[in-house]
Amino acid sequence: MTNAKFAKLFDTVQLNDGITLQNRIVLAPMTHSSSNEDLSVSDAELSYYERRTGKLGLAITAVAHVMPGGIGFQNQFAAFGEKNLPGLTKLATSLKKGGAKAVLQIFHAGIQGPRALVPNGDVVGPSAIELQDGSQSRELSNEEIESIILDFGRATELAIRAGFDGVEIHGANGYLIQQFFSGWSNRREDKWGGSVEQRLTFPLAVVDEVQRAASEHAKMPFIVGYRFSPEEPQEEGLTMDHTFALLKALAAKNLSYLHVSLMEYNSKPRRGGDLERTRLEQIVEVSGNVPVIGVGGIHTPEQAVEAIELGAAMVALGRELIVEPDWVQKVEAGQEDDIAVTLTADDQNRLVIPDQLWGMIIGLPGWFPVVEAAAE
């Protein structure tokens, strides 16, 4: 029996497109680098997703790149080309088995694309920027920008054909869409750059094209969400005030939901906005009637409820659903004391985690709470 103080996690949620989610709990999009070498969906990925999406309200995939030049990670599935349709179809089916709505996250890495993975090492962005390796990105031409916008529309059509319930436009974490909005990475002086309003041109054009593709090809209501990062560390980078301008523009687009990318759900701003109140509260206020997904460091049902009380309509769990695939079922059954918050080096098979992701979990100290196995 569900503990009364956690009951609100199991409220249904109505998105702006009329689609209803069976509860407020979301699988956060997490890179796992476990696709096949040809960038198609692997059997290991299907098993991984199916193990941890039972009973969720919404399941969002890891990022899928919308064109070859947009790749951001090794072994990351692609959202383009007829050859990728069968794998994406299996993925959508796996995500939906427990009643969750399945959303394909689509993106272009821009200047964050690894030179070794991007065709011909041609790393591109809004402007020529010095990269971490000391080389420079190449500034996109107007024609290339227009073409990438159409690629987002084509990725949306592919997601519809594969049976996904929606797509999430990845405008966060410093990837191409955010690069166009940021004054640090966008130094253009044409229609794609300049003032804050001008720098919104590309993100809003992507939203328009994705919504156009959805209205043209989807026979049922189709989710279009948007993920964003509220601040950047660079002096010329994004502040909360810039993000408020983005949110007001996105609210006018009648998106299904907005998804804030935070390290900690209850963190406060560094620059802009009210420095004494959480980012999440302020984001919800500015977003108007668009439901907001809160994410960041949520492990316990108490933390999930706190994020809801800060105004989030939904809460996303990332690492916690890897450590505890049965999180939703345990909270629903009143067994929250049995929720695992750590894992051991012996847990890969039990948790159904692909080899590549497991290598990252074990190989990156501090990323996951790995503890010694208890003695028999």
Give the catalytic positions in this structure.
175
Q: How far is it, in rounded angstroms, from Cα 237 to Cα 77?
A: 30
Strands (DSSP E) found in the chain: 13-14, 20-21, 25-27, 58-65, 101-107, 124-125, 138-139, 166-171, 223-228, 257-260, 292-295, 314-317, 343-344, 370-371
Distances in Å between the Cα of 217 and the Cα atoms of 160, 166, 204, 314, 315 are 7, 12, 20, 27, 29
For residue 252, which amino acid is it?
A
Distances in Å between the Cα of 327 and the Cα atoms of 49, 335, 357 are 14, 9, 20
Q: How far is it, in rounded angstroms, from Cα 325 to Cα 127?
A: 42
CB neighbour list of residue 280: distance below 8 Å, 6 or more residues apart = 260, 262, 265, 266, 292, 294, 307, 310, 311, 312
Q: How far is it, in rounded angstroms, from Cα 65 to Cα 199?
A: 22
Concatenating the DSSP letter of every residue in 306-348 gives: HHHHTT-SEEEESHHHHH-TTHHHHHHTT-GGG----EETT-H
Q: What is the CA radius of gyration of the chain?
A: 20
Q: How far is it, in rounded angstroms, from Cα 284 to Cα 291?
A: 8
What residue spans of 27-103 are helical by DSSP H?
A: 43-52, 85-96
Q: How far is it, in rounded angstroms, from Cα 337 to Cα 330?
A: 8
Beta-strand pair 138-139/166-171: unpaired
Distances in Å between the Cα of 57 and the Cα atoms of 26, 103, 314 are 6, 11, 9
